[in-house]
Amino acid sequence: MGGGVCRPHPTMRAFERFPWLFILPSLVGFLAFNAGPILLSLWISFTHWDVFQPLTLDTLLKSWAGLDNYRQMLEDPVLKKAFFNTLYYVVVAVPLEIVLALALALGLNRRFFGVKIVRTLYLLPTVTSVVAVGLLWRWVLNPYVGPVNLFLRWLGGKLEALFGALHLPVPATVHWLATQGPGWLEDPAWAMLGIIIASVWAGLGFRMLIFLAGLQNIDPTYYEAAELDGANNWQKFVHVTLPLLSPTTFLNTILALIGGFQVFGLIYVMTGGGPLDATNVLLFYLYQKAFGEFPPDMGYASAIAWLLFLILFGLTLLQWQLRKRWVLEEA
């Protein structure tokens, strides 16, 4: 997008009398549902305010607790667990999604019969709501009758037969695969991986779309020049595509990271944070504290919200810094 210059024309003076009429709806929304709540949230995070008390200045002042809630976070083992679970989710899911989406986009950035249909196949999960995705995958990952484990057991059986035919001892992993397979959402060791599989399945098409848009913006003359210099496919990918795609890759990664830290719907539907808090993440823990337990602890939950905000804010700052260094200047 090229930037337009906003310079009021002399005859446009008449406009200057009316701006507040145009601004009013947004201003009301901003004060009532945005700025107001943000300040209230910040305030509540410094109190032990009880949600069943009336919301008055008096109750808010009386329940002032200073840094109590923030101090409590340092000593809360569940919060620590939720933090590292979130980190685990982000560190595995984001690179997986980005690499797969890039590979898909590279593959689909060519013309062949039916390419649009194939693209659509990858996009279908994108239009499915998170809740539907979660419910679907809870059933698909069922350890006994889900198609994932049916396939793994079939694969294990074939491998077992192969080892048998070669007169080799069957490794324990293969036997386990053939007879049992991962417990997925029922097993603390596998549950987060199950969530990650569902989230990558759901998010892949969207990330691919962004990469495709980026790829189609690359000027084909760069490739022609590289070919004249005798570059092969791999060299073209490393020396032309990757550098020129870096703004897109960067945007995609940052967005995936920011989204990843706020994962909630899949967790709520698929595991409810379990088993044994193995999939409890920051936003889910916040929800539990504020709405899932009795009595609700709004102060502590608000403090968690601001912790999450700080993480995301840090990511945004990092983005500004790294963008200058990593990203090839956008044309």
Partner 1 sequence: MKQKTTLWDVLVITLLVLGGLTMLVPFLWMISTSLKEPGSLFDLPIQLWPKKLHWENYREVLRVVPFGRWYLNSLIVATGLTFLNLTSGAMAGYAFARFSWRGKNPMFLLSLITLMIPAHVLIIPLFVIMSRLGWIDTYYALILPGLFDAFAIFLMRQHFLQMPKELEEAALIDGATPWQIYWKVALPLAAPALATLGTFTFLGGWNSFLWPLVATNSIEMRPLTVGLAVFNTNFSTEWTLLMAGLSLATIPPILVFLLAQRWFIRGLTLGSLKG
Residues 95-134 that bind partner 1 (CB under 8 A): 104, 107-108, 110, 112, 114, 118, 120-132, 134
Distance set, CA 170 to CA 159, 162, 174, 180, 281 (Å)? 9, 9, 7, 15, 38
The Cα 110–Cα 122 span in angstroms is: 16
Instruction: Please give the residues from 245 up to 264 whose contact with partner 1 meets the rule CB under 8 A.
Output: 251-252, 254-255, 258-259, 262, 264
Residue span 12-51 as binding mask against partner 1, x where in contact by CB under 8 A, dash where not: x-xxxxxxxxxx-xxxxxx-xxxxxxx-xx--x------x
Residues that contact partner 1, how many (by CB under 8 A): 105
CA 295/CA 164 separation, integer angstroms? 59
Minimum Å distance from CB 18 to partner 1? 5
127 forms bridges with which residues in the sheet? none
Give the one residue of 152, 191, 244, 269 binding partner 1; rule: CB under 8 A. 269
55 binds partner 1 (CB under 8 A): yes
Report, in Å, the least distance between residue 152 CB and partner 1: 13
Single residue of 81, 243, 306, 327 touching partner 1 by CB under 8 A: 306
Is residue 265 involved in binding partner 1 (CB under 8 A)? Answer: yes
Nearest to partner 1 of 35, 276 (CB atom): 35
Tell me the C-alpha distance between 95 and 190, whole Å. Answer: 19
Show the binding pattern over residues 131-150: x = contacts partner 1 (CB under 8 A), - = does not. Answer: xx-xxxxxxx---xxxx--x
Contact segment (CB under 8 A) with partner 1 among 4-12, 90-98, 175-183, 184-192 equals 4-12
Could you say which of 46, 89, 190, 206 contacts partner 1 (CB under 8 A)? 206
1 near partner 1 (CB under 8 A): yes
Closer CB to partner 1, residue 76 or residue 142? Answer: 142
- Which residue, chain included where needed, has tokens 């509540």? 44
CA distances from 304 to 29, 308, 310 (A): 25, 6, 10
**1 vs 166 by CB, closer to partner 1:** 1
Nearer to partner 1, 3 or 169 (CB): 3
Asked whether position 286 contacts partner 1 by CB under 8 A, the answer is: yes
Tokens 């446009």, residue? 12
Q: First-to-last CA distance in the chain?
A: 11
The residue type found at 47 is: T
Q: Could you give the CA distance from residue 305 to residue 277 in angstroms, rounded to a whole number?
A: 19
Q: Which residues contact 197 (CB under 8 A, 6 or more apart)?
A: 137, 141
Among 88, 223, 237, 250, binds partner 1 (CB under 8 A): 223
Pick from 64, 176, 309, 326 the residue near partner 1 by CB under 8 A. Answer: 309
Residues 329 and 311: their CA atoms lie apart, in Å, by 27
Q: How far is the CB of 166 from partner 1 (least distance, A)?
A: 27
Out of 313, 314, 318, 326, the only residue in the binding site for partner 1 (CB under 8 A) is 313
How many angstroms separate the CA atoms of 49 and 281, rounded? 24
Instruction: Evaluate the omega torsion of the peptide bond into residue 275 and state whether it is cis, within 30 degrees of 0.
Output: yes
Cis ω before 37 (30° cut-off from 0): no
Q: Report the residue from 98, 102, 193, 308 that binds partner 1 according to the rule CB under 8 A.
A: 308
Question: Coil, strand or helix: which one is 47?
Answer: strand
Name the residue nearer to partner 1 (CB basis): 192 or 301: 301
Which structure tokens are listed for 53?
């008390």
CA quadruple 272, 278, 283, 285: dihedral sign? positive
Choices 2-10, 65-73, 91-99, 159-167 (CB under 8 A): range interacting with partner 1: 2-10
